[in-house]
Structure 1
Amino acid sequence: MKIMTKTSVLALGLAAGLASLGGAAAAQECTTKIGAVLPTSVDWGKPIAATAQYAVDLVNEAGGVAGCQIEMVLRDTQVDPKVGVDAAKALVDLDGVQVLLGAVSSGVSMPILTSVTVPAGVMQMSCCSSSTAFTGLAQEGKTNGLWFRTFATSGVQAAVGAMVARDQGYKSVAILYKNDDWGQDIGKLIAADLEALGIEVTASVALNDGQASYRAEVTEALKGAPEALYMALYPKEGTAAVREWLSLGGTQNMIVANSLKSTEFRDNVGLQYLGSTIGTDTASPRSESATAFVEQYTARFDGPPNGPGLANSYDATMIALLAMEAAGKDATGAQIAAMVGKVTDPSGTPVTADAEGFAKAKEVLAGGGSVFFQGATGNVRFDANGDVSAPAVTWGFGEGGIEELQYISLDEVDGFIASLK
């Protein structure tokens, strides 16, 4: 099985995408820019960006949006809030984008939302930010209806992490989480879910970026002699923390969030130490549209979509462009955001997530109708807060890459979450 974090494949995909974009743009008189703030300097961020560009290419094949070709201006966030905010400001102020794709980390998306996109009236569509803090912000009326995400909230992964601990028979678990919006959110949620199941949380410890060592934090987490470790970290600090954990005698029983669904993490820690590791992630439903995405993605990139957030990135891009089509040429971010419901309307005409489907959507929308997008993550529907729900999977590390262990349907996920309450 080929892993889609290979630099050569990604470079080829991005280069081909830009070439396709340039050729198609020459055939039309206008170009509309959209912005993307994604972590292309990390191995798992490159495929997310390449997938977004792929969706743009397909839309351009279908004639673009509102008579214009789309140019995706991509900037690297480096998974750093300050870098992300600076990148978003440049896209909004200099490039004049009305749609911003990103970011991935909630800790980067949140300051972009509050200090850049909401003040500027730009629609922000994230593939991967899961913190429930966004839900609270929307409920307070502070997102102005400009925020959407195609990734389910942290509540899903936290609940599935607790389910894994229960099914593995663990009686005590320590938690290490990244000290940002996302990490604080999921750390709090997993602790509550574990305790609801009668599983002792021996410690819950935050890790900051850029520390020379995490020995003090890991030592604190080890004090209660937990049977297992739960981690909501990214590969860099995750690798450093696990090395400390194992060297100090910590168990190899680990449960990890999808942020560690990375060959970089696997290779840097060593597969021999990760045989008992079980990861969680949200999943696409077992549907026709999800299967079609896997097939077309595999044909395009010479390998299946194995990394985190790829289906979500594709749908985020497609839905944003559909909303732009519905809003019309020169629409504002607020006008585009107001059209998201029209292109994800359960009573609308079903359209597939490809060039043919986009072309069909253009016809329906031009005739005054609405469409129901059938995407890589299924029949996408947003609630009043811009949130979606999703099925889940558990996964493990293998010689060939990431291996799915169990699929958990949306009904099972929702039922388990309800039982915790």
Structure 2
Amino acid sequence: MHRRRTKARALGLVVPLALALSLSACGSDESTKKAELPTANDALQGEITLGAVLPLTGTNATIGKDQQRGIELAVAKINEGEGVLGKKLVVDIEDSQGTADAAIQAAKKLVSVSKVPAVIGEYSSGNSIPMQQYLESQGVVGVNPGSSSIELRTTGELQFSTIGLDDVAGAFTAGALRDKGYDSIAILAPNNSYGTGIVSSVSDAFEELGGTVTTTGLYTEGQADYRQELGRLKDTKPDAYVVTTYGKDGTVINKEMYELGMTEKPVFDIYLSQDVPDADPKSVEGRLGMDVNSTSADGKDYSDYYEDAYGEKFISSFNGYAYDAVMLLAAAIDQAGSTDAKAIAAALTEVSKTYDGATGPIAFDADGQRSEQPYVVAEVKDGEIVPQ
């Protein structure tokens, strides 16, 4: 059997599932009130406002809350120091409600009312892609901190991503699966731009490594029951099931896989902290999966900063990518000496070359995408996601 070694760096992510189950999904939630963040420098004069569109309600509210925390931490860190161009940084956050229409409306509000030069967001590729296309049409910079569809490469010259895209993720996942000794897999993913992209990239890479994909399935988001889709996967009798889900959908899918006895075989999640935080812990105990590194190998300072502020460990692996988006934009505005969108975009490419943030080096490529994305294989143990 052909095997490929996977390279995993230290994962700063430990997600306590029981805590995730009780999280509020409100935009201005209790965690924001409790957060103990650094005090802003009194010497800062005036304000510079950026925008963010996050899923604070809806299917991905748990992830949206964690992205919001990353933004809050970055803003507080910047304002504790010299601010941006000597001014206080403000990030106006709008709720996408987890839908493309609401995401675009939120972006329109930020552009037309708040007059922001840059917008961070969203999380789901199906929302981020049209939102970035809108931002490009308005001459506004967009920074994606959570979506991974390869279609983000074509959203425009002013559009960037602090997280790696699916072509890179697919190759890593296939290598990890072969390293685990699986000869055949069946894949389930959401029927959207992210899901179709990840199914294609994982399938192609797995087959190139000598494996067999017994079947692939795309599910419709928001269903009350997924037993039909899961039954099709089960009937093909693969060595392992490969799944990737969103928040509340994952809760249902994980529960039904457990009830159908599918978890008696290996289940491997793509973006583990995306799939399991809202799940009943018993349905995902022992679950394996890949994930983005929540912090770099030297990211302990950031993880300590997060825990000190919120009194708990990371909710997901995605907060650091939102943190890095804010820090990069602030550095770009300082370097450009301006809030002009084109000047910010040009400066982003330059500052990224030497930027080493919460999630490690980013270095945008010619398409404004992260050049190298560190991934890791992790496991759910005693209700927590921990690296192998």
TM-score, normalization: structure 1? 0.79
Q: 1:187 to 1:262 in 2, by over 3 A?
A: closer
Which amino acid in 2 is paired with 1:302?
G
Residues of 2 paired with 1:285 and 1:243: CA distance?
30
Is residue 334 of structure 1 aligned with residue 342 of structure 2? yes
Residues of 1 paired with 2:37 and 2:387: CA distance?
34
Is residue 31 of structure 1 aligned with residue 31 of structure 2? no
Residues of 2 paired with 1:90 and 1:117: CA distance?
11
Secondary structure at the aligned position of 1:311 is classed as helix
Secondary structure at the aligned position of 1:381 is classed as coil
Q: 1:220 to 1:396 in 2, by over 3 A?
A: same
Superposed, 1:298-377 pairs within 5 Å as 298-305=307-314, 307-329=316-338, 331-345=339-353, 372-377=354-359
Superposed, 1:47-66 pairs within 5 Å as 47-66=66-85
Question: Aligned residue for 1:179?
Answer: 191
Question: Aligned residue for 2:212?
Answer: 200
Q: 1:76 to 1:146 in 2, by over 3 A?
A: same
Question: Aligned residue for 1:213?
Answer: 225
Match of 2:170 among 158, 162, 166: 158
Larger RCO: Structure 1 or Structure 2 (Cα < 8 Å, ≥ 6 residues apart)?
2
Residues of 1 paired with 2:251 and 2:278: CA distance?
6
Bigger proportion of residues as helix: 1
Which amino acid in 1 is paired with 2:364?
F
Which amino acid in 2 is paired with 1:303?
E
Is residue 282 of structure 1 aligned with residue 292 of structure 2? yes
Unaligned runs of 5+ in 2: 1-13
Match of 1:191 among 200, 203, 206: 203
Secondary structure at the aligned position of 2:101 is classed as helix
Q: Is the 8 A contact 1:234 1:259 kept in 2?
A: no
Q: 1:286 to 1:337 in 2, by over 3 A?
A: closer
Residues of 1 paired with 2:261 and 2:219: CA distance?
19
Q: Is the 8 A contact 2:272 2:288 kept in 1?
A: no
Instruction: Using the TM superposition, give the Cα deviation of residue 297 of structure 1 relative to its aligned residue in structure 2, in angstroms.
Output: 2.7
Residues of 2 paired with 1:98 and 1:152: CA distance?
23
Q: Is the 8 A contact 1:39 1:79 kept in 2?
A: yes
Instruction: Using the TM superposition, give the Cα deviation of residue 125 of structure 1 relative to its aligned residue in structure 2, in angstroms.
Output: 0.8
Please give the per-residue CA displacement for 1:7-57, whole angstroms capped at 9, x wherever unaligned. Answer: 48x956533679867x65x75442221111112231232121111111011
Secondary structure at the aligned position of 2:278 is classed as helix
Instruction: Using the TM superposition, give the Cα deviation of residue 373 of structure 1 relative to its aligned residue in structure 2, in angstroms.
Output: 2.4
Is residue 397 of structure 1 aligned with residue 380 of structure 2? yes
Aligned length: 364
Secondary structure at the aligned position of 1:43 is classed as helix
Match of 2:279 among 261, 266, 274: 266
Which amino acid in 2 is paired with 1:238?
G
Note the aligned Cα RMSD (angstroms).
2.6
Residues of 1 paired with 2:295 and 2:373: CA distance?
8
Q: 1:17 to 1:197 in 2, by over 3 A?
A: same
Secondary structure at the aligned position of 2:262 is classed as coil
Instruction: Using the TM superposition, give the Cα deviation of residue 275 of structure 1 relative to its aligned residue in structure 2, in angstroms.
Output: 3.5
Residues of 1 paired with 2:112 and 2:35: CA distance?
25
Q: 1:83 to 1:286 in 2, by over 3 A?
A: closer
Residues of 2 paired with 1:96 and 1:313: CA distance?
20
Secondary structure at the aligned position of 1:225 is classed as coil
Q: 1:256 to 1:398 in 2, by over 3 A?
A: same
Residues of 2 paired with 1:285 and 1:58: CA distance?
17
Instruction: Using the TM superposition, give the Cα deviation of residue 262 of structure 1 relative to its aligned residue in structure 2, in angstroms.
Output: 5.5
Question: Aligned residue for 1:380?
Answer: 362
Instruction: Using the TM superposition, give the Cα deviation of residue 133 of structure 1 relative to its aligned residue in structure 2, in angstroms.
Output: 1.5
Superposed, 1:2-41 pairs within 5 Å as 3=16, 5=20, 7=23, 11=29, 14-15=32-33, 28-41=44-57
Q: Is the 8 A contact 1:173 1:226 kept in 2?
A: yes
Is residue 224 of structure 1 aligned with residue 242 of structure 2? no
Unaligned runs of 5+ in 1: 346-371, 406-421
User: Structure 1 stretch 103-112 or stretch 35-44: which is displaced more?
Assistant: 35-44
Q: 1:195 to 1:67 in 2, by over 3 A?
A: same
Match of 1:235 among 236, 247, 262: 247
User: Structure 1 stretch 80-89 or stretch 394-403: which is displaced more?
Assistant: 394-403
Please give the per-residue CA displacement for 1:290-329, whole angstroms capped at 9, x wherever unaligned. Answer: 2332233333333343522122121111001111122224
Secondary structure at the aligned position of 2:279 is classed as helix
Q: Is the 8 A contact 1:154 1:185 kept in 2?
A: yes
Instruction: Using the TM superposition, give the Cα deviation of residue 213 of structure 1 relative to its aligned residue in structure 2, in angstroms.
Output: 2.4
Residues of 1 paired with 2:260 and 2:303: CA distance?
42
Q: 1:55 to 1:286 in 2, by over 3 A?
A: closer
Q: Is the 8 A contact 2:63 2:315 kept in 1?
A: no
Which amino acid in 2 is paired with 1:180?
N
